[in-house]
Structure 1
Amino acid sequence: MGARVAVVGGGLSGLTAAYQLAGDLPGARITVLEAGDAVGGALHTTDFPSGPVELGAEAFIARRPEASDLVAELGLTDALRHPGLLGPAILTGGRLVPMPTGTLMGLPSDVSTLAGVLTPEESAVASREPELPLRWEPGSDVPLGALVAERFGPAVVTRLVDPMLGGVYAAPSTELGLREVVPGLAEALDRGAPTLTAAIGTLMAGRVPGPVFATLDGGYRLLVDALAQASGALVRTRNACTAIHRLGSGYVLTVSGDRGLWSLEADLVVVAVPVPHAAGLLAATGVADGAVSGLSGIRTASSAVVALEVDRSLALPDRSGVLVATDEPVPFKAMTFSSRKWPHLDDRPGHLVRVSFGRLDDDEVLAVDDRGLTAMAESALAGVCGSAPTTLHSRVRRWDDALAEIGPGHAARIAAVRGELADRLPGVELVGGATEGVGVPACIGSARAAARRLATRWQD
């Protein structure tokens, strides 16, 4: 008899887990429960009259194998596209400054390139980093922003590191773990790099040539649809799992949806929902207090994206987009000129622009309704371009509690959560952006690894 598998959450992580389990456990009966109207989660492709537009994640790191390998497995390689040569600008002091070259996540390998971002006094502080003695305990983890501020000065954090990381993590780098966010840098320090400058230089020298990012022509819906189809899963949208309980050697899930309240029995369960919801589901079991406590200690941020198509009479800066310094008095955190960044999108009647909102503890901005948020996006674009846009089409997409704060020691926290699940709730796995890190490749890797563990357990 094949395994009965319940996947709670139909985002990228849940669909990837379902796909992996379908391959590892032939004959498994897989049900994906998705509370929303459609699967995909943070991957959300909508349609303007001119063509598809991403309202969620826009790209993935092509140099990591997880996403590229999955795209190839699903036969989507021909749809891969890479960005053009334009780089972003940083909005600081009310002006746009090109992102300096030779940086890694905003960390400078050569302070002399930062003249446009730092004052002479700030540059002098940053330039002393190679001379400062560095105390580092191999295997340790520290707040990234605090270390960078100590070594290079706070201006490097505010105007380079935070703008680079803020769009992905939605938390200031002072709240992010160095080892979790830039693992290669921690590993270089573990190996004995004497300074941050030396460690960054080592990583920069080892970079693989070629495009850093990739996306799909036609949108991420190609990946979402291919995963759902290849998994063979029964996908039930508008059905939210509200509780999980033990039932003998398996589980019973309480579901609220199109049939009212109903139950689903499963031998294996994948929990692939944002942290607050996951903690609630585990709490309902009554036997995983440690896991619930571990997850409850992870703060989350909500976010929103406004996609615009604007008349081409608007003169966009000759950059791929804008990253915002955290001391800049504007409500948005990033802006992407999609039709500048991606050559395959530059044939639309208008310019495609995405404006992102939402940082940790920034609830006031996201309380604005969709019309107000669109107006804020248009105002932000006017401020950057120097004239008001004529909007042809617009769309807003929001995600509640979608971005987890990946703080120092996060890996140990998740390991403890997983250890308790293995002991108290065998056959239940937790996946998603709050486990092995945010971003498309990390979510894919987390989901496939968890699915393989479940398959091994069932086969044993």
Structure 2
Amino acid sequence: MTRPGPRVAVVGGGLSGLVAAYQLSLDLPGAHITVLEESAAPGGALATTDFPSGPMELGAEAFICRRPEAAGLIDELGLTDRLEHPGTLGPAILTGGRLEPMPTGTLMGLPSDAGTLAGVLDPEDVARAAREPEIPFEWPPGADVSLGDLVAERFGPAVVRRLVDPMLGGVYAARSAGLGLRQVVPGLAEALDKGAPSLTEATRRLTARRATGPVFATLNGGYRVLVEALGRASGAEIATGSRCTAIRRDGPGYAVDVTGAGGTRSVGADLVVVAVPVPRALPLLTAIGGAEAAAGSLSGIRTASSAVVALEVDRALDLPQRSGVLVATDEPVPYKAMTFTSRKWPHLDDRPGHLVRVSFGRLDDDEVLDSGDEALTRMAVAGLADVCGSDPIVMHSRVRRWQDSLAEIGPDHDATIAGIRGELAQRVPGLELVGGATEGVGVPACIGSARAAARRLAAQWQD
């Protein structure tokens, strides 16, 4: 007799949850998959809103197209003809109250030639960075350390404040001192493993072999296009307005308690994917017998909140000829980055107004985020006015907040996650944890993590 397909509960309908559902539908064609999403719509950090002039992203804006995970999924879903790439404009650094072009030959803010840093750093800081190759350097192959601490030690703290932290802050919402080198810049760690004698030389080797062509891509119509395609292709039942309050063992499987508009119900599942941010995942895992140790390890991963203010402003405003502004961490402004969306993406430059995104929120710095939406919008508009030298006329605006959604990916993060997965596999079989706190932040990383977890679950079911 043919074994019936499993019942699958996916807790969280963001990118990771939707990709896991899609992969499970491929690997287990008979599965009945239910995606439980607390909010009113799936997508999570992929959040496309509608301005009167067209779609605008309030969450993730783009992905690295040189990594295979996102490009491969988009091709599978038949969306390749929707790909769009940014123009040629680069970002500026806001430092010392002025905008300076991002220096050439840098990698995540690390310099391959200190001579290019003169506009961003003071002369004495440039001189210190230039001495980096002369400082004795020992690197044990396979090691992982704090990226920010290593850069400060080798190049000086000014390189961290004015280059590395601004580059990484928009993605990780954490200062580089709390980020692991191997997870955040794996190519640099590999170059050091292979014997690069200094950070300057390791960076030079990587920048010298950069592939030509665009680095980033997005989808015409917004990430909503990807979210909808994943929902259709997975064939999953997507239950919005459904908050998972508990996961309990139920015989060989699980019972997932869900609260929604119709009250509380229990969803039976043979396989479970937990695809929610760390603070939401922790109580769910802690309550499952056998998952206490895994939850304890997960609790050590800190998370940050953030907010995006999206604006459409009258084209009378003279935007800088830059893709956006990255803010040095010693600059006295409340926002951490500003994207001139319609400058950066040529396919969006046909709107009646300029599109601009202003980002707020860093780890351990939530004071700004305590402000209401109107106050955040005023800060965004004031910041844009300072950068442009005149007050913008705001045509449309939206605020979107992301509570505890960005994980601090610290040194030896891979080992921590491997330990968590090992505990879950041994003590809570049939349950997987995915999302930005596992393989790292970013669309390709989340896709890769979710597909790998789904394949492990499918293999368990088929054994």
**Same fold, TM-score > 0.5, yes or no:** yes
Q: Does 1:276 align with 2:276?
A: no
Aligned partners of 1:90 and 1:369: how far apart in 2? Answer: 27
Give the counterpart of 1:160 among 160, 163, 169: 163
Q: Secondary structure at the match of 2:153?
A: helix
Q: Does 1:353 align with 2:347?
A: no
Q: Does 1:68 align with 2:71?
A: yes
Aligned partners of 2:364 and 2:73: how far apart in 1? Answer: 35
Give the counterpart of 1:48 among 51, 55, 66: 51
Aligned partners of 1:112 and 1:228: how far apart in 2? Answer: 50
- 1:317 corresponds in structure 2 to 320
Aligned partners of 1:294 and 1:308: how far apart in 2? Answer: 40
Task: Write the letter of the residue equivalent to 2:269.
Answer: A
- 2:378 corresponds in structure 1 to 375
Task: Write the letter of the residue equivalent to 1:452.
Answer: R
- 1:142 corresponds in structure 2 to 145
Task: Note the alpha carbon deviations across 1:41-97, whole angstroms, 9 max, x for none.
Answer: 000000011000000000000110100111111111111000000000000000000
- With 89-98 and 193-202 compared, the bigger mean Cα shift is at 193-202
Aligned partners of 2:5 and 2:292: how far apart in 1? Answer: 31
Give the counterpart of 1:130 among 112, 123, 133: 133
Give the counterpart of 1:262 among 249, 258, 265: 265
- 2:211 corresponds in structure 1 to 208
Task: Write the letter of the residue equivalent to 1:93.
Answer: G
Percent identity of paired positions between Structure 1 and Structure 2: 75
Q: For this pair of structures, how many residues does the alignment match?
A: 460
Aligned partners of 1:100 and 1:125: how far apart in 2? Answer: 16
- 1:294 corresponds in structure 2 to 297
Aligned partners of 2:170 and 2:405: how far apart in 1? Answer: 12
Aligned partners of 2:268 and 2:262: how far apart in 1? Answer: 16
Task: Write the letter of the residue equivalent to 1:318.
Answer: Q
Q: CA deviation at 1:245?
A: 1.0
Task: Note the alpha carbon deviations across 1:140-172, whole angstroms, 9 max, x for none.
Answer: 110001100111111100000000000000111
Q: CA deviation at 1:206?
A: 2.2
Q: Does 1:384 align with 2:391?
A: no
Task: Write the letter of the residue equivalent to 2:281.
Answer: A
Q: Secondary structure at the match of 2:287?
A: helix
- 1:365 corresponds in structure 2 to 368
Q: CA deviation at 1:23?
A: 0.4
Q: CA deviation at 1:423?
A: 0.8
Aligned partners of 1:199 and 1:280: how far apart in 2? Answer: 42
- With 284-293 and 377-386 compared, the bigger mean Cα shift is at 284-293
Task: Write the letter of the residue equivalent to 2:434.
Answer: V
Task: Note the alpha carbon deviations across 1:215-240, whole angstroms, 9 max, x for none.
Answer: 01100000000001100000000001
- With 14-23 and 360-369 compared, the bigger mean Cα shift is at 360-369
Aligned partners of 2:412 and 2:278: how far apart in 1? Answer: 17
- 1:175 corresponds in structure 2 to 178
Q: CA deviation at 1:178?
A: 0.4
- With 84-93 and 281-290 compared, the bigger mean Cα shift is at 281-290
Give unpaired runs (5+ residues) of structure 1.
none
Aligned partners of 2:125 and 2:41: how far apart in 1? Answer: 49
- 1:453 corresponds in structure 2 to 456
C-alpha RMSD of the superposition: 0.6
Aligned partners of 1:264 and 1:205: how far apart in 2? Answer: 53
Q: CA deviation at 1:259?
A: 2.1
Q: CA deviation at 1:191?
A: 1.0
Give unpaired runs (5+ residues) of structure 2.
none
Q: Secondary structure at the match of 2:286?
A: helix
Aligned partners of 2:183 and 2:245: how far apart in 1? Answer: 31
- 2:232 corresponds in structure 1 to 229
Structure 1 stretches of 4+ with a deviation exceeding 3 A read: none
Q: Does 1:407 align with 2:414?
A: no
Task: Note the alpha carbon deviations across 1:230-289, whole angstroms, 9 max, x for none.
Answer: 000000000011111111111111111122111001010000000011111001113211
Q: Secondary structure at the match of 1:285?
A: coil
Task: Write the letter of the residue equivalent to 2:314.
Answer: D
